[in-house]
Amino acid sequence: MKYPIRQVSEKTGISPCVLRCYEKEGLLPHIGRSEGGIRFYTAQDLEQSGLISCLKKTGMRLREIRTFVELKGKGPCTLRERCGILRRQQALVEQKMEEMRPSHDKVSRKPDHSLRLAEEYEKTGRA
């Protein structure tokens, strides 16, 4: 099945502008075009777009993603290398999550604390 850029954008949440940028950067190297020059995407392109978006959200740089995509294009002989890239990124994400945990915990407690103060103020007129 072939998808126009608008539909890919709707399915992935990635703007058409960003999709075109990914293509230009070599992250989506095999985007087809109609005779009129209109881009069309396959299910595989859709999956690749989702992976790129996911990797970007983890903080991976475009050049690192490009390296990953280029390795993928070389086939199964690069599976171990790609696995290493993903494992390193996984470790970085886990490290960031641990660093954020204290802030998350504090922010999570604040609404309840503020609500108790508001209720006390409403009852007594003082906080």
Q: What is the topology classification, in CATH, of domain 3-73?
A: Multidrug-efflux Transporter Regulator; Chain: A; Domain 2 (1.10.1660)
Q: 101-104: long-range contacts at Cβ-Cβ below 8 A with a sequence spacing of 24 or more?
A: none
Q: Whole-prediction pTM value?
A: 0.76
From 61-75, 84-98, 99-113, the region with the lowest mean pLDDT: 99-113
Task: Using the predicted structure, report yes or no on whether residue 97 has a pLDDT greater than 90.
Answer: yes
Sequence spans of domains, the chain: 3-73
Look over the chain and give the mean of its residue pLDDT values, rounded to a whole number. Answer: 93
